[in-house]
Structure 1
Amino acid sequence: MRKLPVFSSLRSFLDWSKDRGDLTAIPDPVRVVHQMTAVHDAVLRAGGPVLRFDAPVLADGKRSAIPVVTNLFGTTARVAAGLGMTLDDVPGFGEFLASLRSPAPVEGMRDAMSRWPMLKAALATRPRISKRGPVQDEVQDGEAVDLTRIPVQTPWPGDGGPLITWTTVITRPHGSEPEAAARYNLGVYRAQVLDRNRLIMRWLAHRGGAAHHRTWDQAGEPMPVAVVLGADPATLLAAALPLPETVSELTFSGVLRGERAHLVPARTVPLLVPADAEMVLEGWIHPGDTALEGPFGDHTGYYNSVEPFPVMRVSAITHRRDPIYLSTYTGRPPDEPAIIGEVFNQLALPVIRQQIPEVVDLWLPPAACSYRIAVVAIKKRYPGQARRVMMSLWGMLAQFSYTKMVIVVDDDIDPRNWDDIAWALATRMDPARDTLVLDRTPMDYLDFASPIEGLAGKIGIDATTKIGTETTREWGKVMKLAPDDTAFADALLARRLPGLAR
């Protein structure tokens, strides 16, 4: 299935990008306060390469010896490459992931042998555990811990301080064993640097890390946490995937990577961490220890409010001998999370079709913060079907509970084309009849349009052709040229006006 090499570390992916001419080193001094974000943003919007800042300048004006890599997933092609494939292979990989969730019954030995890739993927979820790894070549613990020497960005002018953005945070529930990697949760949570050895861990209540934190808090015990900086692409993307709560992102990364995860025991906390990562911040969150976090620019394009979140006290920093710091920023799309979301849209489609078979295509417009608007094309067969699809989507995955608008169109409409969508809305939708409005439903509390924090309305718009009892009028017939005439026009244009040929 894989057409690209296995990337067992971040630097192997960077080497591959460099060989393709898709990595640019910047030797110029660039400040981590605001300047680095400005450069990154400009390059991302132009569809440019991975950036490696070789002379980052810290907030105090000193140069850091640690290079900063940004724009790793600044194009959809690189996101797909992080999964080990080309963009053309992403839909097929989505089908494969859907089959892992709900495999069809095996019919005979020939069918069983054809399932070998699926079996191999399942085996790849079992981690390989070693005593030591490159991520522990150097260790600073106790008084030697100093987060302020890491070139952490302050992305936006209104930000409250330095912000670690491309984290892979590892947690486990209270009562679990450190070796039970299948019970681990990986999440991408931003972390504000408070001082030399303290971070604020910002995880929302519905996220896996927060759920684990509640179990330790209820037991009155400190919670071990590992913040991985610069993991391999598969681990990074697994941490961002909307996987079911019962699936460990750490073990699932083996499916994406094409080989088993390589883990080592952390030095000062009872957790396993990726052996080939660039850095790991180890530490503890003590019950009731919180601090005010923010404000920080967010994916909505606005600064979020200042709120209390748990404080992580860093007990050790482990890293390679020549570590690389991986960073990004979040803001109004496009940003890296929005670009990753475009690819994940394709991965999720087969899973959605398993539950809602009439869905032909689904688009989450990146400009709508990747998930707040969904446009769904269906093969319509009966009255009320569009409303059933709306309700199914809102209840299917946790991520769709934050989708405030669902537009349903027929399968003759391209759900990724705003002109097609506008035509369907203008000609197939009556505002009084074809809108479904819900009140006080779950919503991302960062949505400032919500009248109540965490609760908001939702709207479903049925822009499909009305059939049966949905209308009392005879429906219009869509105009369309005959296929023979279209073929004639194409042939003529190819000869006489090749620049206009379709």
Structure 2
Amino acid sequence: MNKFTQLRPWLAHLAHTNRLVATKKNVLLKHELAAIAKKLDGKSSVFFPGPDGHSMPVVSGFMSSRSWIAEAMGVSEADLLNAYRLAADNPLPCNLVKEGPCQEVVYRDFDVRTLLPVPTHSEHDSGPYITAGLVIAKNPKTGVQNVSINRIQVNSKDRMAVLILPRHLHAFQQAAEELNQPLPVAVVIGVDPLTLLASQAIAPIDSDELEIAGALHGQPLDVVKCLSNDVLVPANAEIVIEGHIPPKVRELEGPFGEYPKYYSSQEKRQVIVVDTVTHRKDPIFHTIVPAELEHLLLGSIPREATILSHLRRSFPGVLDVHLSLGGVGRYHLYVQIKKTHEGLPKNVISGAFSSHYDVKHVVVVDEDVDVHDPAQVEWAIATRFQAKRGLIVIHDAQGSVLDPSTTVGLPIDEDGVIPAQFQGMSSKMGLDATKPLTYEGHVFTKVKIPGEEAVNLDAVLDPQFPIASHLKSN
């Protein structure tokens, strides 16, 4: 299978296979664009020519199916996690080139609000948001880059407020702020599907996700240096916003409809001051509709690969993992194991909680349960789980700061904000939904009909049989 290492060939492939449709011109950037993309979520990606009369088109939803993501990687869906793990474990250094398509057009005098077609997505969003921008910055101490996707509110002609969660970009920004220095950044919009997927890798702090993108590509990723700072960006990207995060500057950001399908509150956040904007000739702007499939899958698949690798180091019997969409691709983890000891599921549950702090509920099932089928997992809970012997509960652990349930009952300061040390405090639950290793008779034998898997419906069904004539009343 071929890999898709460029955005435009991938979009052309989707169009050729009836998975990319175009709208009429002048779709409104406020709400209407996102509404149309959501309506087609998981069925088709959408190309918006001339939204609100803007010269730059918008695309959304081109990674909104697990099978599409595997197809872009050139692997089967069954091999998706292993292929991603292999790339994450074997990054390729980037190839620095002197120039690239992303710098064909340069703006030093601009208004981001009119230069780019930035949509306003959800009903109570506080304004237009860049939702598919890869934020790239260098560690001030080591010089190694980090890539992440952060929500970015466009506030004025050259200022954007950004949510920075307590991860690598936050550590970089804090380090620069302690030195009273700005942190140079680039916001890259419109990259190929593999680079987009690599940006979400759960990697150590001094690992450059662009090198993981190279591994997914099968060759080093071409990068160019920004014009106004030393950040390296994908040379074939559509749009690059170059800027810096000034120290000790905060501006209001939010509310914003986030991946848990609730709004996060308005708070003072870090600010990106825009210095330069570059883009391809005739660029395409990518937007991700928050809390829908493209958003959830881009977050869940890299996490699954990391969690699977983490668990298998200690538990070779772990066969598969899945972060369910009902658990917003972050909070509900299903783990399939080959059970060898009665205590193994509880150990796996404990290991799963340490794999990523977003994980809130873990269900461990046997190898005869498909973790990608929520109905099968629910069946296992219904018939193999007993709370008295199979339930683990941990209170006051670190969880997701975007989980609204964690805010209930926590202290707030005089500004009505939960202090940072309490944000995301969560109770976590694990369920051992495995059957006992030994049991009498067929009490835990899964019901099967001999030959059901071998049935060839084309061979046994007769579409020409006159059913109606046999149902006539006497």
Instruction: Please indicate the TM-score interval, normalised by the length of the shorter structure.
Output: 0.7 to 0.9
One-letter code aligned to 2:40: V
CA distance in 1, matches of 2:21, 2:299: 24
User: What's the counterpart of residue 212 of structure 1?
Assistant: 172
TM-score (norm 2): 0.87
Alpha carbons of 1:87 and 1:433: their partners in 2 closer, same or farther (altered >3 Å)?
Answer: closer
1:263-304 per-position Cα deviation (integer Å, ceiling 9, x unaligned): 111111121222111111111111111111100111111111
1:162 shift after superposition: 0.4
Residues 264 and 274 of structure 1 are in contact (CA less than 8 Å); yes or no, is this contact kept in structure 2? Answer: yes
User: Aligned partners of 1:322 and 1:233: how far apart in 2?
Assistant: 19
Instruction: Find the partner of 1:335 among 287, 293, 317.
Output: 293
Report the CA distance between 1:256 and its aligned residue. Answer: 0.8
1:235 paired with 2:225, answer no
User: 1:344–1:465: structure 2 CA closer, same or farther, 3 Å change rule?
Assistant: same
1:95-494, aligned counterparts within 5 Å? 96-97=86-87, 101=89, 125-141=92-108, 143-177=109-143, 183-205=144-166, 207-331=167-291, 334-341=292-299, 343-344=301-302, 347-348=305-306, 351=309, 352-395=311-354, 397-398=355-356, 401-450=357-406, 451=408, 452=410, 453-466=423-436, 477-479=443-445, 486-487=450-451
Distance 1:305 1:350, change over 3 A: closer
Query: Can you list the C-alpha shifts for 1:78-121, whole angstroms capped at 9, x where unaligned?
Result: 22233233435425525644xx74xxxxxxxxxxxxxxxxxxx6
Aligned residue identity for 2:67: A
Deviations 1:4-34 (A, max 9, x none): 1452x32232233333343222233200100
Displacement after TM superposition at 1:443 (Å): 0.9
User: Equivalents in 1 of 2:2, 2:113: separation in Å?
Assistant: 35
CA distance in 2 between partners of 1:433 and 1:491 (Å): 40
Given that 1:6 and 1:259 are in contact with CA atoms closer than 8 Å, whether structure 2 keeps it comes out as no
Q: State the distance in 2 between where 1:284 and 1:65 align.
A: 27
Pick one of 44, 47, 65 that aligns with 2:55.
65
Question: Any conservation in 1 of the 2:304–2:323 contact (CA below 8 Å)?
Answer: no
- Supply the distance in 1 between the matched residues of 2:46 and 2:316 (Cα, whole angstroms): 42
Q: CA deviation at 1:166?
A: 0.2
1:229 and 1:496 map into 2 onto residues whose CA distance is 52
What SS is found at the alignment partner of 1:281?
A: strand
Tell me the secondary structure at the aligned position of residue 367 of structure 1: coil
1:55 is matched with which residue? 50
Task: Flag the 1:151–1:382 CA change in 2: closer, same or farther, 3 A.
Answer: same
The CA deviation at 1:341 is: 4.7
> Structure 1 or 2: larger helix share?
1
Partner of 1:30: 27
Write the deviation string for residues 299-355 of structure 1: whole angstroms up to 9, x where unpaired: 111111111111111011111121111112112xx4212233564466447523243
TM-score (norm 1): 0.82
Residues 167-196 of structure 1 show CA distances to partners (whole Å, capped at 9, x for unaligned) of 11100111445xxxxx10000001000010
What is the CA–CA distance in structure 2 between the aligned matches of 1:360 and 1:306, rounded to whole Å?
Answer: 42
Identity of aligned residues (%): 29
**What do residues 349-401 of structure 1 show as CA deviations (whole Å, max 9, x unaligned)?**
75232432121222221111112111222222223221111111111x33xx2
- Evaluate the alpha carbon distance shift between residue 271 and residue 348 of structure 1 in structure 2; reply closer, same or farther with a 3 A threshold: closer
One-letter code aligned to 2:372: R
Please report how far the alpha carbon of residue 427 of structure 1 lies from its aligned counterpart in structure 2 after TM superposition. Answer: 3.2
The code of the aligned residue for 1:74 comes to S
How many pairs were matched up?
448
Sort the Cα spacing of 1:492 and 1:297 in 2 relative to 1 into closer, same or farther, 3 A: closer
RMSD: 2.7
Aligned counterparts of 1:386 and 1:466: Cα–Cα separation in 2? 11
Rounded Cα–Cα distance in structure 2 between residues aligned with 1:228 and 1:87 = 28
Letter in 1 for 2:424: G
Mean CA deviation greater in 212-221 or 9-18 = 9-18
Select which of 1, 8, 11 maps to 1:11: 8
Q: 1:73-84 to 2 correspondence within 5 Å?
A: 73-84=63-74
Aligned to 1:44: 41
In 1, the alpha carbon distance for the partners of 2:75 and 2:192 equals 15
1:84–1:256 contact (8 Å) kept in structure 2: no
> Residues of 2 paired with 1:494 and 1:65: CA distance?
51
Contact 1:263 1:275 in 2 (8 A): yes
> Deviation at 1:448?
1.5
Distance 1:492 1:64 in 2: 53
- In the alignment, the residues of structure 1 paired with residue 66 and residue 228 of structure 2 have an alpha-carbon distance, to the nearest angstrom, of 37
Report deviation, 1:444.
0.8
Tell me if structure 2 keeps the 8 A contact 1:145–1:316.
Answer: no
Task: Say if 1:466 and 1:316 are closer, same or farther in 2 by CA, change over 3 A.
Answer: same
- Residue 242 of structure 2 contacts residue 276 of structure 2 at CA under 8 Å; is this kept in 1? yes
